[in-house]
Amino acid sequence: MASKSIRIPNYTLGEELFNSISHGIGAQLSVAGLVLMVLKAHGFLPEFVVSLFGATMIILYTVSCVYHALSPKMKAKKVLRVMDHCNVYLLVYGTYIPASILGVGGKIGIYLFLFVTIVTIIGITLTIIDIDKYQLLEVICHLINGWSILIGVPKLLESVGKTGVLYFVLGGVMYTIGSILYGVGKRKKYMHCIFHVFCLLGTFFHFWGIYMYLI
């Protein structure tokens, strides 16, 4: 996709400051979260999958922080906007890696992991081709990815219990509300800032579910 065709949302300086700082804090918390998960996990597989989850958290919030900090006149901001959108898929995918492999497990866990992998690839491909043209399809991909976990809830209940599942569901609810706010944010001032808060909440609930109940 040519950078000239990539549009940059017209946010105010105050909005961009909040957007950048909030996700900058998210990046730092993600580093701490990664360290905590690796220290608690036992064995190669648990350590590996939580490391992937932690890495996707760090990547998303770091890129988002830098993207919102750059001037709209800079070409790099357009490139980072595409990366920012792609990283949303990566974070959800990173969340599914421990959830499906450690939480759901078995054939259902493998099938769930493969399904989310395919949807993630489709979503990222559409984003790279044209970040604005396929927005509806991207939202559909996000919703499918986000709520596919329902397929594995019976198995997840066995491994993390009701409270653990509750945190995974709460994370999904936060992201779903956030996706709605993202659409509104293009027309309402500071709505995108609130979207950032819901993203942080969604990530926290998923992290807590994994840290406290899965590893």
pTM: 0.93
Measure the CA–CA gap between 213 and 164, rounded to whole angstroms: 6
Encode the chain (215 residues) as per-residue pLDDT tens digits: 555 678 898 899 999 999 999 999 999 999 999 999 999 999 999 999 999 999 999 999 999 999 999 999 899 999 999 999 999 999 999 999 999 999 999 999 999 999 999 999 999 999 999 988 888 888 889 889 989 999 999 999 999 999 999 999 999 999 999 888 887 766 688 899 999 999 999 999 999 999 999 99
The pLDDT of residue 181: 85
User: Is-contact 132 182, C-beta < 8 A?
Assistant: no
Measure the CA–CA gap between 96 and 75, rounded to whole angstroms: 33
What are the percentages of helix, strand and coil residues in the chain, rounded to 5? 85, 0, 15
Nearest to 83 by CA among 18, 128, 119: 128
Specify the 3-state DSSP secondary structure of 196. helix
Measure the CA–CA gap between 158 and 210, rounded to whole angstroms: 14
The pLDDT of residue 28: 98
Number of neighbours of residue 55 by Cβ within 10 angstroms = 15
User: Is-contact 94 77, C-beta < 8 A?
Assistant: no
The pLDDT of residue 182: 82
Number of neighbours of residue 195 by Cβ within 10 angstroms = 20
The pLDDT of residue 139: 85
The pLDDT of residue 193: 94
Number of neighbours of residue 144 by Cβ within 10 angstroms = 14
The pLDDT of residue 211: 98
The pLDDT of residue 5: 73
